[in-house]
A and B are shown apart, each in its own frame.
Chain A
Amino acid sequence: MALTAVYSISGIAVNHISDWNPNYQITKEFQSIPPIQGESREDIIRQALASLQLEEAPRNIFRPDPSTLQLFYNQKTISVDLPTGNVLIERTAQRRVLFEMNQLHLNRPKKLWTYIADLYAVALLVVAVTGLFVLKGKNGITGRGAWLTAIGVVIPIVYWIYYCRAN
Chain B
Amino acid sequence: MLASVLLVSFAWSSGDPKQYGKPLTVKKATKVSEILANPEKFDGKRVLVEGPIVDVCAKRGCWIQIGSDKEFEMIQFKVEDGVIVFPMEAKGMKVRAEGILSVSTLTREQLIEQARHHAEEQGTLDQFNPESIKGPKKVIRLNGEGAVITK
Contact = CB atoms under 8 A, between A and B. Distances in A.
A73 interface: yes
Interface string A94-122: 00000010011010110111000000000
Contacts of A18: 120
A83 to B, nearest CB: 15
A49 interface: no
A160 interface: no
Given A26-B123, A64-B74, A59 B54 contact: no
A65 B1 contact: no
B72 A66 contact: yes
A24 B88 contact: yes
A17 interface: yes
B91 interface: yes
A26 B72 contact: no
A111 B54 CA distance: 30
Contacts of B88: 23-24, 26, 75, 92
B1 A75 contact: no
B91 A77 contact: yes
Count class of interface residues, chain A: 35 or more
Count class of interface residues, chain B: 20 to 34
Most buried by A among B71, B74, B88: B88
Interface stretch (B2-10, B40-48, B129-137): B2-10
Given A17-B59, A21-B58, A59-B151, A2 B72 contact: no
Contact of A106 (B8, B58, B82, B120): B82
B52 interface: yes
A113 B54 CA distance: 31
B148 interface: no
Nearest to B92: A72
18 contacts: A17-B59, A18-B120, A21-B59, A23-B88, A26-B123, A60-B54, A60-B67, A62-B52, A62-B54, A64-B54, A65-B72, A66-B72, A72-B52, A72-B91, A92-B91, A104-B4, A108-B8, A109-B5
Interface of A: 2-3, 6, 17-18, 21-24, 26, 41, 58-60, 62-66, 70, 72-75, 77, 92, 100, 103-104, 106, 108-109, 111-113
